[in-house]
């Protein structure tokens, strides 16, 4: 069974929109970082779909996916370190409260 590319792109667009909404609306720093991760996963899905349907004999899309996954893992590690430092300094991870505490 072959899944049409329009279905894959629709799922990717839905993932990206959910990630963007989470990034924009969430006050919690961890939830905002999860929104960024969803957006990166949507981009990965687009890379794989384009590779599968347009260039199955070439490997550049898979290399790009591996690079994006590596960057996402590094972003998650750095983001967690930032969240831990924010919690140690301010006692909360609520971005609105941290913004108000800046003075």
Q: pLDDT tens digits for 60-81?
A: 777 878 888 888 888 888 888 9
What per-residue confidence (pLDDT) applies to 103? Answer: 56
Pick the closest to residue 38 from 86, 1, 75, 91 (CA basis). Answer: 75
Half-sphere exposure of 41 (CA within 13 A, CB side): 15
- Helix 29-54 and helix 5-25, axial crossing angle in degrees, nearest 10: 160
User: pTM of the prediction?
Assistant: 0.73
CATH fold of the domain at 5-101: Helix Hairpins (1.10.287)
Split the chain (103 residues) into runs of 10 and give each run's mean pLDDT.
89 96 87 88 87 79 82 85 86 78 61
Residue-range domain boundaries for the chain: 5-101
Return the residue matching tokens 């990034």: 23
């Amino acid at each position: 069974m072959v899944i049409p590319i329009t279905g894959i792109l629709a799922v990717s667009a839905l993932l990206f929109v959910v990630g963007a909404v989470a990034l924009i609306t969430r006050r919690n720093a961890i939830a905002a970082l999860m929104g960024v991760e969803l957006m990166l996963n949507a981009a990965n899905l687009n890379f794989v779909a384009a590779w599968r349907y347009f260039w199955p004999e070439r490997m550049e899309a898979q290399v790009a996916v591996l690079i994006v996954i590596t960057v996402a893992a590094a972003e998650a590690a750095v983001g967690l370190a930032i969240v831990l430092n924010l919690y140690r300094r301010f006692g909360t991870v609520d971005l609105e409260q941290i913004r108000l505490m800046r003075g």
